[in-house]
Amino acid sequence: MTVADRRAREREQLRQRILDTARELFIAHGYEGVTLRKIANAIEYSPGTIYGYFNDKDELLRALCMADFEAFEKSLPREFASSDPLDAMRAIGAAYVRFALGHPNQYRLMFMTPKPAVMNEFDEEVLAKRGDPARDGYALLLHVVRTAIDGNLLRDRFSNAEVVAQTLWAGVHGMASLEIAMASNPWLQWAPREERINAMLDAMVNGLAAGGAEPA
C-alpha cells in the first residue's frame, strides 16, 4: 500500500467516524441540539476537521441519510416483484423490519427523528431514483401492489395502490419502531420475534387478499 493509499483509507475511516458519531448525537439530542463543534468534541478533533469533509451541518446530515437509505434500498428483495406479488409483499415487509432491527440507529434517524425542511430538497441524483423500483423502496412496494391489483389478487375494495402500499408501510414501521423502542421493556413477556413478524405480515397480506371472508 502506498502512502497515498493509506492516507485515502485513513481519510475515509475518519469520515465514517464523523458520520457514525453525528448519527448518535442527532438521535440523542435532535437536529437543532447538535452542532459541528459538538460532533468534533465527541470524536476529539477540532471543528476545522469536520469542515474538511462537510461544509455545514445540513450537508453532513444529507450525506448521512443518503448513505443510510442506500444501505436500506440494497437490503430489499426484488426477485419476487413480478412473480408472486403476495409473497413479494411479505418478503419486502420482512426485509424492512429486519433492516430496522439490524440497524436501529440508522432506522431511528431515517424514520423516527424529525429533520429540517432542507432534507426535503432533493438534488438531481436523488430525484433520478424516484419511482424506479430498482432503486426506490417505496416504488418497489407500489409496483408489487399494482401487480397484485392488476392480477385480481386483492379484494375489490383495495383498488387504490397508494392506499394499500402506504398502509403496508405503516404496519411494518409500527412493528419496527415498537421493537426498537420497547423490546427491552420488562412489562411484557414478548413472544418470539420471528413469530410476531410473520403473524403481522400474514394478517396484513391475508386481509388484503381476495378469496377470504369480508369483514362485517
pLDDT of residue 130: 79
Which distant-in-sequence residues (6+ apart) come within 8 Å of 30 by Cβ?
113, 114
pTM, 2 dp: 0.84
Domain boundary assignment for the chain = 1-54, 66-208
Average pLDDT by stretches of 10, the chain with 216 residues: 82 94 91 93 93 92 89 84 83 95 92 80 72 87 95 96 97 95 84 94 95 55
Largest CA distance in the chain: 72
Which distant-in-sequence residues (6+ apart) come within 8 Å of 98 by Cβ?
75, 197
C-alpha cell at 147: 401487480
pLDDT of residue 4: 78
pLDDT of residue 216: 43
Instruction: Give the closest residue to 190 by CA, choosing from 201, 180, 202, 203.
Output: 180
pLDDT of residue 200: 96
Beta bridge partners of 154: 209
Cβ neighbours, 10 Å, residue 86: 19
Q: Which fold has domain 1-54?
A: Arc Repressor Mutant, subunit A (1.10.10)
pLDDT of residue 81: 54
> Which one of 3.20.20.80, 1.10.357.10, 3.30.365.10, 2.120.10.30 gives the CATH number of domain 66-208?
1.10.357.10
At CA 17, angle to CA 16 and CA 23, rounded to 5?
90
pLDDT of residue 214: 54
